[in-house]
Structure 1
């Protein structure tokens, strides 16, 4: 299934002017992908064909550099923590503030010892916003569709699929059993649903939130890439 959001009225003249100048209508593309949907491959192909800078893991790396912590620490903030994890984080923060019993590593910035998951997410949002302001980029994941929801010149893409087909694809790509793949798909879906619900208050699989929604079960890669490029070039 393919779903385009209805184009805004009054933009045809602007589209034609941009086309004459050789520019795209949207200079930033965000990709939100379900695990196993083939969305990453589609995103990479779109980035290459439109000559857009591709950002995925580098978003976390840049945020980690700003915080002075490991990328793994920042990446952990992109999922909603369990109740126990939240309690431990609060306990650790309280210990640092009130008792000062947690010695800092030799090269650590003392301020980073007091950073919470929310602080790391703010750094991710800062990186995503900065990249978008520079333009001509494609950002995969990292809640780009939510962070840039009101930003001009952003084309938001969702690539999804059935749990069955995604597990089959994941099993083939990673050489794991169907059972393992099904568990990974289920866990990924649960974590992302909880994360977006609690952090951004939205259903990330709601197609009305995107400019283009693609069901990866139905389309081959070439067709999907063409649809995205067409959508980007005709967006307002």
Structure 2
């Protein structure tokens, strides 16, 4: 399954030659190019920037499925179906999602420390826009139990800001299309969409009790 890290940097982060190592290197070069890092004594700025971007990439090991499910648990037609089916044991609903769009953002601060001295603090901001279309899902007992066909698109960007010295630069961006059934695996027990369903496995009914068509 795809992670935000893989989307922005590739499959492998640092350590050996390859696409990911190359993208980390490119991001590090951009960081140095705008002067986002202060002098680190005899240590080359690119060496420091490379270590910073490798750490940033590690922090972005967030699965796309977690982003999607987290959004569905907050506000969606799937969430409404989860409440209804949990309140009526033995029932299920088939939900058709025509279009579902959501933003996602991750922000953190990262201290850059060399030889025990903090050179600066960087603000790292990753943001993404996702759109899902033509999704058919089955919900039972408050859980997402099956995903039919569905296509998605994600566009992600990564920015780094520094106040000492002052700098703001986009160091990575990418866009990708994906198939929902591949990214989100429901498993045998299904995925709980509401807190009450976390400890109760879905009981498969004979057939879905209804179909709801909704934009989200």
Category of TM-score, reference length = shorter chain: under 0.3
**Structure with the larger strand share:** 2
- Normalising by structure 1, we get a TM-score of 0.23
Larger Rg: 2
- Normalising by structure 2, we get a TM-score of 0.24
**Structure with the larger helix share:** 1
